[in-house]
Structure 1
């Protein structure tokens, strides 16, 4: 398989899995186990392609937020999105500076998929017993920010799943409202992560050469598939539970543990 085709497939995979609660980073690491490893820069920048997709999906909501800051309720919501991003940056940057890197083996991803599935089922069950609320609180903002860091440190956790279910447990019990807040908080987070990775790459002497053509193809594929995926997901969660995604995580995690020898 050519490197360009592999990059295209990884971009498609990223776009499909970034917003589904099944872990895009985990799926990329699994795919790269067979398609060949990619740099952290590649993995982070194609995630920005998926975030560009959700920016397009929520373009009217973002426009309304930007032009409605004179209204207290709109300004309050925007500030809480900013707070979630600030928490992620305040905790995530030191973690990155301490030398954190993605794992090179699939085994920890497999366990994160399984444990994340358990977390999803428990969190949704608890959230359903609480009053139906659609207003994000400051507690929701802080915990969503921390959840994004947790998902980054443990690939296989899923940023979207961690943020959505943390928001639901913190009081934003309606699935659609929790998903919107989690996705909007992810926009500045992932764009900032991509910018940080680019600056870090440029400032690193002797950094491995990156094929910008392959990166551009993967970015475009992630954007296109991410747009279609998130449009579908928003319609799905308005009527259905997250249970099928948890079952998928159990099955994939168990399959990986069965197929791969320990330590791979």
Structure 2
């Protein structure tokens, strides 16, 4: 019973943090260190897949429009930019994996990433506010979002959504809603590809044989439901609010972790 409660909590954490600019990888590692238990790679993949499914459902009309009306110049241009951003992330990510890059398993680098990322978000928000309100996505935006997404993938605590949204805003798409939409749409194929790659590795390694499928299914469902609610709320929130509260939260959490870690807490 306690284990299932932990699974629910992990699903909630993943659902809230995957698309909010506060770092899901960092929060899951912190949750593990706080006693929610180390989970298998397949479990972590499963709850991430739940969050991806949720955001796919939210944007399904936009995705359907892009693929069924791709002959329209505006849709074709937008779709090509999504593809380029995805390919940049995929190629750079593949190079990082081939060079043996691995995510850290300690809290300290994540704490620093939370703090530095929080200050960066505040500065980026101020810079973006000085720009004219632009909703158009340029090729520069597409390229920088692809690079930002890859960097967020190899530096846990950075937050993929924060990195890509602010990359878009600073590169020219200063409208928060438009920048967020492009960042999330790029993230959908990227995260499906990454999840599929990791899942294939786990299955080939025989990891599925000893998996607790009840826990995995529960985590997947909880993550999907919570992510759906969280993203819906975020998309409404950013229409009239800045990202500053998320930045302050990151800084406060990072500082608290840096103060606690040396004590062994």
Do the two structures share a fold, i.e. TM-score over 0.5?
yes
- Residue 193 of structure 1 pairs with residue 197 of structure 2: no
- Residue 162 of structure 1 pairs with residue 163 of structure 2: yes
Alpha-carbon separation, structure 2, partners of 1:104 and 1:208:
25
**Moved segments of 4+, more than 6 Å:** none
Report the number of matched residues: 264
CA RMSD of aligned residues (A): 1.7
Q: Given the two structures, how large is their TM-score scaled by the length of structure 1?
A: 0.95
Alpha-carbon separation, structure 2, partners of 1:209 and 1:146:
37
**Residue deviations 1:124-170, cap 9 Å, x none?**
11111112111111111111111111111111100000000000111
Counterpart in the other structure of 1:7: 7
Alpha-carbon separation, structure 1, partners of 2:263 and 2:73:
54
Q: Secondary structure of 2:249's partner? A: helix
Q: Secondary structure of 2:131's partner? A: coil
| 1:41–1:194 CA contact under 8 A, matched in 2 | no
Q: Given the two structures, how large is their TM-score scaled by the length of structure 2?
A: 0.94
| 2:54–2:227 CA contact under 8 A, matched in 1 | yes
Alignment of 1:68-83 (within 5 A): 68-83=69-84
Alpha-carbon separation, structure 1, partners of 2:257 and 2:73:
49
Counterpart in the other structure of 1:135: 136
Long gaps (5+) in structure 2: none
How far has the Cα of 1:206 moved from its partner? 7.0
- Residue 182 of structure 1 pairs with residue 186 of structure 2: no
How far has the Cα of 1:77 moved from its partner? 0.3
Long gaps (5+) in structure 1: none
| 1:107–1:263 CA contact under 8 A, matched in 2 | no
How far has the Cα of 1:8 moved from its partner? 1.6
Counterpart in the other structure of 1:28: 28
